Structure 1
C-alpha cells in the first residue's frame, strides 16, 4: 500500500493531551501503523511566539529543533512572518512578492498557525501514513483535532515564506534608506536656509 507523506498539526483541549498524543504517535510507529519521521510538542506564548519546549521527551526525530521539516515549520511560524500570517495580515506581504503565491502560502501556513492559538500547546508531526484514519482515529480518542497537509506542499510554502521574508526585509531596508535620505535632505535645506538668513541673503 502506498504511503502518503503528510505534515499534521493536532490541537487539544489541554496541554497534557498534546504530550499523550506524541506518545500515541510513537506507539503507532513502533507497531508499524505509520512511519513517524519527526514530531514535536509546540507551545505558543501569550505574545504569539511559537517554540519547542527544551525537554527531550517533547520531540521525536533528528533535526527537529533545527534543519528538519518540522523544525523549519516551527521556526517560521514562531518568527515575525509566522505571526503576520497567523493573525490574518499576510496580505501585507503581497506588495513585495507574487500575490498568488503569497495567498497560497498564507492559507496553508495560517492553518498550522491557527492550530496553535496563544497560550496553548499542540502537536506537529511529519508522517508517512498508509491511511489517514490511523492518526485521525488515535488523536480523536484523546480529543485531538487534526489539520493535515501534504509534506511537499508544506515544503513549497516554507520556501515561499522564505522568499517573502527576504523580500520584506529588502523592502524594509529600502524604506529606511529613503527615510534617512529624506531626513538628510530636509536637514540640509534647513541648515542652508538658516545660513542664508544669517547673512541676509533671503532679501
Structure 2
C-alpha cells in the first residue's frame, strides 16, 4: 500500500484545528498513521502551536516517525543543528531556498504559507479519494510526497550532517594541534633567548 507524507493546508487556521479534531472520529483516520498540527510563523519557523493537539493513529506524536518528519521541515540547517531528531523548530527560510534546488522536504515546507497552520500526516492509502474528500469538505488542500522519497532525503540529510560534523571536529583538532605547535615553538624560543644571554 502506498505511504505518503501529506501536508494539508487551510485558508483559515481555525479550520485546521477543526479538521484535526474531526479526523480523530472520522473513518478516514484509518489511513492516517500519524499526524500533527503545525504552524509556520511570519519568520518562517515551524512549531506545534499552543493547543495544537498531536494525534497519531493509536498512539501519539512522540512514538512515531511524524516527529522526525515535522522536525525535518526545518530544512537542511535544522537537520545540521540537530533539530531533525523530532525537534519542531527550524528555519524554513533555508527550506525555501532549498526548494529551488529540488528538495522534497523543502517543497513540502514551503507549501505551508507563513503565518498559517497545517496538518502534517503520515498516511498509508490504497486510494487517495477518501482523504481528499475529507480535506475538501474542510476547505483544505493536500500535497502528498511518497514516504520512500521523504525517507531517502532524510537519510541523505543525516549523512550530510554527520559528514559536516566530522569535518568540523577534524578542523578543530587540526587548529588545536597547530596552536600547541605554535606554543611549543614560543616556549623553545623563550628558552633559547634565556640561555643565549
TM-score by length of 2: 0.70
Highest relative contact order (Cα 8 Å, sep 6+), 1 or 2? 1
Residue 163 of structure 2: which of 164, 167, 191 is its match?
167
Hey, what's the Cα distance between the residues in 2 that align with 1:167 and 1:112? 25
Hey, what's the Cα distance between the residues in 2 that align with 1:197 and 1:42? 67
Please state how far the C-alpha of 1:18 moved relative to its aligned partner.
1.9
Instruction: Give the conservation status (yes or no) of the 8 Å contact 2:6–2:122.
Output: yes
Instruction: Give the conservation status (yes or no) of the 8 Å contact 1:63–1:71.
Output: no
Hey, what's the Cα distance between the residues in 1 that align with 2:98 and 2:177? 29
Residue 108 of structure 1: which of 104, 120, 141 is its match?
104
Hey, what's the Cα distance between the residues in 1 that align with 2:28 and 2:97? 39
Residues 77 and 173 of structure 1: CA distance in aligned 2, closer, same or farther (over 3 Å) = farther
Residues 192 and 122 of structure 1: CA distance in aligned 2, closer, same or farther (over 3 Å) = farther
1:95 matched residue in structure 2: none
Please state how far the C-alpha of 1:15 moved relative to its aligned partner.
2.6
Unaligned runs of 5+ in 1: 91-102
Unaligned runs of 5+ in 2: 85-89
1:146 matched residue in structure 2: 142
Q: Does 1:59 align with 2:68?
A: no
Give RMSD over aligned pairs.
3.4
Instruction: Give the conservation status (yes or no) of the 8 Å contact 1:33–1:129.
Output: no
Q: Does 1:182 align with 2:191?
A: no
Residues 183 and 64 of structure 1: CA distance in aligned 2, closer, same or farther (over 3 Å) = farther
The DSSP-based 3-state class of the residue aligned with 1:88 is helix
* CA deviation vs aligned residue, 1:156-196 (integer Å, no higher than 9, x gap): 32222322222222122112212222222233333433444
Please state how far the C-alpha of 1:12 moved relative to its aligned partner.
2.9
Residues 43 and 178 of structure 1: CA distance in aligned 2, closer, same or farther (over 3 Å) = farther
